[in-house]
Amino acid sequence: MSPKLELLDQQAEKIILESPYRDQWEADYGAFVLKNMEINQKLSDEAILQDLVKESELCQKYSKASATASTIFRGEECNFYGLLKHMQSTDRDERKEAMKAWGDLYEKISGDLDSIYDQMVELRVGIAKKLGFGSYIEFVYLNRGRYDYTAKDVEVFRKQVRDVIVPICSKIRQEQAKRLGVDKLHYYDEPLYFADGNPMPQGNKDTLVKKAQHMYHEISKETGEFFDFMADHELFDLETKPGKRQGGYCTFIEGYNAPFIFSNFNGTSADVDVLTHEAGHAFEVYTAAPAMPIPSMVFPTMEIAEIHSMSMEHFAYPWMKDFFGEKADDYCYAHLAEALVKIPYMVAVDEFQHRVFEKPAMTAKERRNVWHELEKIYLPWRDYDGHPFLEEGGFWMQKQHIFLFPFYYIDYALAQICAIQFYGRAKKDRKKAWADYYRLCQAGGSKGYFDLLKLAELDNPFHEGTVKKTVDGLLEDLFK
């Protein structure tokens, strides 16, 4: 239904744009809303309606294929999430076995996933063509609200990541290998930061939610009220169940000004990350929605939205002792290291998609070659210990964003650079950092990317030097 509704939206927006009251609209709601409406006129058309329905069906097919895939691991039925949990075991054999089962399971469904992706790429290229765009990349940048920067700017950002962040991550991995006492860090060692185990949150789902509630009451008055609202109205679906869709997200129930959080708790520290990351999104929605006259002004573009969520993860550090007890410092170290180590991976996912849509006729094998090549550049430490499917570049297909949310991934890297700026600011002046963050949440999606960065006094990640300046502030915490 959603493509049909989008068309109706577009028609309504056309009426506003051509109305004699247009200037009044701009005065009341700001220029950005009208700019969005103008660009929307180019992004949808009756001619692509069936294609969008088909795209949505393919997305569901992908979700189903990955959610229902399971295997027997040590006598227990495991989906991908379950296997990832075994990959954090302190027993290296168990980790290795789990990675093998995980890679095998992807290999088993890779034929289906490749075929779904082939159809998606063809369909998406066709959609862009029918709308009169030169390429899908051109279309998707506008579709994601990227008005302030182009694919060329993203290339410059990726270069900063290669030059500044990759070498630091290599050093983090070397130290990790030393801590674990292994000669060579394999992929199945990467998730384990400490030889005696990663910090695990203490307590079940209900306890964790209670602890989060306590934390949000201490962080600020606003966050306390927000979390009470979430808890009182049961706006969570947190626990994993067989056949449940993978991943986690926060969405917005229009008309109730209510955020809603979905996730797959698995007993690891990722559960706490849901209660900080997704709650960061939810806090923004809760804060901005009542003040925004129309729903489309609530969510900003994703480079900003992920600042809300990722910064909340960092703001929550002082309360991690409630969740992890005496392992709180370990958690914070691993979290910070992960924040950095994921950036080159995100950038690789982004470059992969650019490469795919620059040459949409690529075969599945060629796509795997591209991923393998990118791993060598961005993840030079990566080693799958001889697993043939993963070694030849099969790893890309475990990234659901590539299938479901094309080109949505660089946003995380751009946002993390800003979240780290908030982290650095909070170390010096927590009050100011929180005030800047809260101002950003209040502004919702009422302005464009660069304007919102300015509003929160954040350095623009595309400017040469920002990445280095930002990351330099972390080094004292990462290498003590």
Binding site for Zn ion (CB under 5 A): 309
Assess contact for 310 and 338: CB atoms under 8 A. no
Nearer to Zn ion by Cβ, of 176 and 309: the residue is 309
Sign of CA dihedral 383, 401, 283, 469: positive
Nearer to Zn ion by Cβ, of 309 and 416: the residue is 309
Helix (H, G, I), strand (E, B) or coil at 419: helix
Assess contact for 274 and 236: CB atoms under 8 A. no
Instruction: Give the shortest CB-412-to-Zn ion separation in angstroms.
Output: 7
Instruction: Give the shortest CB-237-to-Zn ion separation in angstroms.
Output: 16
Assess contact for 409 and 125: CB atoms under 8 A. no
Determine whether 176 is exposed, middle or buried from the number of CB atoms within 10 Å of its CB (0-12, 13-18, 19+). buried
DSSP 170: H
What is the four-CA torsion angle of 425, 303, 281, 81, rounded to 10 degrees?
-110
Residues 402 and 117: their CA atoms lie apart, in Å, by: 9
Question: In what helix (H) or strand (E) does residue 454 lie, and over which residues does it extend?
Answer: helix 449-455
Q: Report the 10 Å Cβ neighbour count for 20.
A: 6
Instruction: Give the shortest CB-409-to-Zn ion separation in angstroms.
Output: 11
Instruction: Give the shortest CB-116-to-Zn ion separation in angstroms.
Output: 24
Instruction: Give the shortest CB-287-to-Zn ion separation in angstroms.
Output: 16
Determine whether 98 is exposed, middle or buried from the number of CB atoms within 10 Å of its CB (0-12, 13-18, 19+). buried
Nearer to Zn ion by Cβ, of 309 and 446: the residue is 309
Residue of this chain nearest to Zn ion (CB atom): 309
Instruction: Give the shortest CB-340-to-Zn ion separation in angstroms.
Output: 17
Q: Side chain identity at 335, as an amino acid letter?
A: H
Instruction: Give the shortest CB-452-to-Zn ion separation in angstroms.
Output: 16
Nearer to Zn ion by Cβ, of 209 and 312: the residue is 312
* Tokens (6 digits) for 395: 């790893």
